[in-house]
Structure 1
Amino acid sequence: MKIYLSLTKKPRLKKTIMICVWPGMGEVAFKLGVYLRDKLKMEEFASLEAPELFPPTGIWIQNTIIQLPKSGAGKFYFYKNKNAANDIILFISDAQPLLEHAYDYCKRILSLGKELGVKRILTFAAMPQAIDHATTPEVWFSVTHKKIIEELEALKIGLKLLAAGQVSGLNGLLLGIAKESGFEGICLLGEIPLFTIQIENPKSSLSLLTKLTQILKINVDTSALAEQAKVVEQEIEKLIEFIQNPETQHGAPGPIGEEEIEKIKKSLSLQTKLPKSAMEKIEKLFQEVKQNIAKASELKKELDQWNVYKEYEDMFLDLFKKPKDKEERTHN
């Protein structure tokens, strides 16, 4: 088993805290990490690859050709915090490795952290609870050392201590290995409704990010994440309304069709997958391609970058159809 670590530069940092995120339930950790990276304009300085730990489970078909997907790429970023004592390293991976080899994988991450003077590790996780989707999620915490409990409670920011439980996957496992390796660790857990564990939950990510900014004393504009949370809440309400009150839809009684439910789910998926700025750029490119078909390659590249081509495929292909073809398709 080979794990490759590549450094493009070695930043000089002070009292560094490392934040590590992987995809998980509700994507609360991953979404928070990506949002934080973008808003703080963090600089990439290293990458971690371990191909054997991320075997493909399917294929991609692009331009009619089958290809194996590339996943598991981990990137390290840094941020020099001018407003507080601690600089930040952020590690983001787009997938979780095979757990039977996760120990060595985590040790490699921690070895770089130790080399750069990291003393404390932070991770995030989702905490499914019997709460309503409109409820503001509470944030719980678990730590590796008792002294950190006193430190966090002294902040008086509304964190709730988790006395017992389990954090599955790398977002939890890393902290156990970190403690064994001499690091301090904190896991912040954001509540999510039990019935939404399979969709992204920006509302929980927002609650976690709010607490994180208070802990690290950093300023992050959360308005875009708050807007995503609002949109997702509205889409969930629509879906619930369709399911609970089908007779009120379209002026006719009877259950809503699977096709319409899938449309709502698709819309919800797009809202959570894409930041507002990316959606606006894609919409603008669609308009530009209608005027200049030569820009289609730029649009396709943008869709591929965000991994949403499948969702926009019909709209994209329609750009190449003649008016007569579009009319025939509409009536078929």
Structure 2
Amino acid sequence: MSLKVDRDIRAELGSPTLIAGWPGMGSVGVGAVNYLRRSLEGEACAHVDLRSYFSPDMVVVEDGLARFPDVPSHVFYHVPGLDLILFESEAQVPGEGGTSMLNEVLDFAQELKISAIYTAAALAVPMSHTDDVQVVGVSNTEGMRDTLNHYDVDLLEQGHVSGLNGLLLGFAALRDIPASCLLATMPHHVIQMPNPRASREIVRVLQGILDVEVDLSELDEAVDQMGKVLSEIEEKIRSTFSSMQEPESDELSELQMVDEEQVPQYVMEKIERLFVMVSQAGSVGQARETAAELKLELDKWSLYAYYEDRFLNLFRENPE
């Protein structure tokens, strides 16, 4: 791993701010950084070469031919005319590779005399996609915490921030570099889908902190388009749950005929069979009916909490 400087920008900087983003839930943080970079016309000035840590776990197939995927990029951008550096990464890197990347980022930050660092991420909570997005923050110094308060960002009182967007705060503290992470709320049942609505709120907060104007029209359009998809998903979930009734006592008769020692295996096999039937259903009506039966079975055995994500994924996979 090594840092490659493509263009020396030190003479153009005073005491710059660094905004960094890695992929995460809903692509919230990296989505905000990407939008800022494109809107403010950031120019690439350096990149981190991580090929030594790149280990592909699949091949890409195009026209019947297989090839390894491209190596993810990790690029620094300078915004001309502003004391602003953006770092945009295409991949979370675990373990030693992630630690090495953070050290490379912070080495370059110190070389550029960065005064403060901001990262961004998602905070998945039970909510509808139409609910107001809340931005909360966590900092590694009291001064940065006060800065967030000044811009009306509520503080994350307790919890944890996983991934490099959070870990950077700890590594930056070891070097006495002030850093904060902004977290925007998003629905926990769609964390695998991009959430431009949460990214937009991150951008709005950063506009105030950086004192810059950003045209949000493209992001507004993305919010509207994704909102239609999420509305369909939530409607599917609501309609499915509304059709489900509490099991009647006589519905247990089938299970009462099964020996107690066989019940766990019997239940697991039936649940797996129902999951397959829902995913392979030939119509929306058939899928809804089978999903209702599956939900009853999960509730009957108090297993829904263990299968909740998998159950909700049945509705995310095919929003049409």
Q: What's 1:9 paired with? A: 7
Q: What's 2:122 paired with? A: 126
Q: What's 1:67 paired with? A: 67
Listed as ranges, the gaps of 5+ residues in structure 1 are: 266-332
Q: What's 1:264 paired with? A: 319
Q: What's 1:312 paired with? A: none
1:165 aligns with 2:163: no
2:134 to 138, 163, 178: 138
C-alpha displacement of 1:119: 2.1
CA distance in 2, matches of 1:196, 1:263: 12
CA contact (8 A) 1:243 1:255 kept: no
Length, aligned pairs only: 254
CA contact (8 A) 2:135 2:154 kept: yes
Q: What's 2:93 paired with? A: 97
Relative to structure 1, the CA distance from residue 263 to residue 130 in structure 2 (aligned partners, 3 Å threshold; closer, same or farther) is closer
1:215 to 209, 219, 227: 209
C-alpha displacement of 1:88: 0.8
1:111 aligns with 2:142: no
CA distance in 1, matches of 2:284, 2:109: 60
CA distance in 1, matches of 2:235, 2:118: 38
1:56 aligns with 2:50: no
C-alpha displacement of 1:245: 3.2
Q: Percent identity?
A: 29
Residue deviations 1:267-286, cap 9 Å, x none? xxxxxxxxxxxxxxxxxxxx
Amino acid in structure 2 at the alignment position of 1:254: G
Residue deviations 1:68-98, cap 9 Å, x none? 112332111001445xxxx111111111112
C-alpha displacement of 1:54: 2.5
CA distance in 2, matches of 1:238, 1:24: 23
C-alpha displacement of 1:214: 0.7
| DSSP-derived class of the 1:70 partner | coil
Q: What's 1:45 paired with? A: 45
Q: Provide the aligned C-alpha RMSD in A.
A: 2.4
| DSSP-derived class of the 1:19 partner | strand
C-alpha displacement of 1:103: 1.7
Q: What's 1:254 paired with? A: 285
CA distance in 2, matches of 1:239, 1:38: 30
C-alpha displacement of 1:209: 0.6
Listed as ranges, the gaps of 5+ residues in structure 2 are: 244-282, 292-313
1:28 aligns with 2:28: yes
C-alpha displacement of 1:113: 1.1
Q: What's 2:78 paired with? A: 78
Tell me the TM-score normalized by structure 2: 0.74
| DSSP-derived class of the 1:107 partner | helix
> Where do residues 286-305 of structure 1 align in structure 2 (5 Å cutoff)?
none
CA distance in 1, matches of 2:110, 2:35: 25
CA distance in 2, matches of 1:21, 1:105: 13
Q: Rg: which structure is higher?
A: 2
CA distance in 1, matches of 2:96, 2:6: 29
CA distance in 1, matches of 2:148, 2:129: 27
